[in-house]
Each structure stands twice: as C-alpha cells, then as structure tokens.
C-alpha cells in the first residue's frame, strides 16, 4: 500500500499544465519541491529568449508542488517576481521552492530558478499561499 506522501506526490505529478510545459516534478517533500524544464524553440519570445510567462509558469509549478506537499489544498495569494537573467532555447532550468514560514493558514515560500550548467540565477520569487480546509489526501 502506498504511503500518504506517495499519494500526495502522485496527485501533484498529474498536473496537466506541468505536463503541457514538459516540466518534470522531480522532488516533493513537505515544504519543498524541485522541478526541471528544458527551454525549446516554442518557448522563446520575439527577442529569442525564454518568455517571462514560461519562467513564471516553471516557478509556479514548483510553488504549487511545495505548498500542497502536505496534502492540504493551498492556493496562491501573491507572488513577487524578479527576473535576473535571460534563458534561451536549449537551457535546462531547475526551479526549487522552499517553505520559509507557516502562520496558521498562510504560508510563505521562496522560489529560485537557476541554470545549473553555470549556477546562474535566472529568477527569484517570494510567494504566499492560503491553506484551505480541504485535503486532497486527508491526514491519517
């Protein structure tokens, strides 16, 4: 029988938007996630660099995975984004999201997107969620 954490991870990995992007949710632990994506030619803007919406989407997939990693439905309240460097077609990107604090139903998260080949910061976000009373995998 699968563990509760396995059921949570399986549920999160069924995200159709992440699949559409080609993003891979590699790690899901309570309060943490790591998601990867390789930028392709369809994901660049008219300047030939990765579209900001793509970078935000990658960060948001990691944010959703980390903030829902305990099986309780969490929804975004706010995300602040700082774009630091451009990414290009062929770049492999890694988004890591870490829970910074929980205060009742509110959670604070940091999301960092890096290009691991150079360890350059591509984007950094700070985000908050509201944890609803709903559980998609109820506590034991």
Q: Flag whether 20 is in a domain.
A: yes
Length of the chain: 140
Q: Flag whether 8 is in a domain.
A: yes
Percentage, residues of the chain above pLDDT 70: 100
pLDDT over 90 at 122, yes or no? yes
pLDDT score at 47: 97
Number of separate domains in the chain: 1
pLDDT over 90 at 1, yes or no? no
Print the domain residue range for 98: 4-133
Mean pLDDT of the chain: 97
Percentage, residues of the chain above pLDDT 90: 99
Q: Are 127 and 64 in contact (CB under 8 A)?
A: no
Compute CA 20 distance to the chain's CA centroid, rounded to the nearest angstrom.
Answer: 14
Q: Flag whether 91 is in a domain.
A: yes
- HEC profile for the chain? CCCHHHHHHHHHHCCHHHHHHCCEEEEEECCEEEEEEECCHHHECCCCCECHHHHHHHHHHHHHHHHCCCCEEEEEEEEEEEECCCCCCCCEEEEEEEEEEEECCEEEEEEEEEECCCCEEEEEEEEEEEEEEEECCCCC
Q: Flag whether 140 is in a domain.
A: no
What's the average model confidence in pLDDT over 109-127? Answer: 97
Tell me the per-residue pLDDT of 7-41, one tens digit each, with 9 for 90 and over: 999 999 999 999 999 999 999 999 999 999 999 99
pLDDT score at 39: 98
Pair type for strands 120-135 and 92-103? unpaired
pLDDT over 90 at 116, yes or no? yes
How far apart CA 105 and CA 140 sit, in angstroms, is 19
pLDDT score at 140: 82
What's the average model confidence in pLDDT over 69-75? Answer: 98
pTM to 2 decimals? Answer: 0.97
What's the average model confidence in pLDDT over 95-109? Answer: 98
pLDDT score at 136: 96
Residue 105 belongs to domain with CATH number: 3.10.129.10
Q: Flag whether 72 is in a domain.
A: yes
């Amino acid at each position: 029988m699968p563990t509760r954490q396995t059921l949570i991870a399986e549920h999160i990995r069924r995200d159709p938007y992440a699949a559409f992007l080609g993003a891979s949710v590699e790690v899901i632990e309570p309060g943490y996630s790591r998601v990867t994506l390789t930028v392709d030619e369809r994901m660049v803007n008219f300047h030939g660099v990765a579209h900001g919406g793509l970078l935000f989407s990658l960060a948001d997939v990691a944010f959703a995975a980390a903030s829902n990693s305990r099986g309780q439905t969490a929804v975004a309240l706010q995300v602040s984004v700082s774009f630091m460097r451009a990414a290009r077609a062929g770049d492999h990107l890694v988004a890591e999201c870490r829970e910074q604090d929980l205060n009742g139903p509110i959670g604070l998260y940091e999301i960092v997107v890096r290009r691991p080949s150079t360890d350059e910061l591509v984007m950094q976000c700070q985000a908050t969620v509201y944890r609803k009373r709903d559980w998609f995998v109820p506590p034991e």
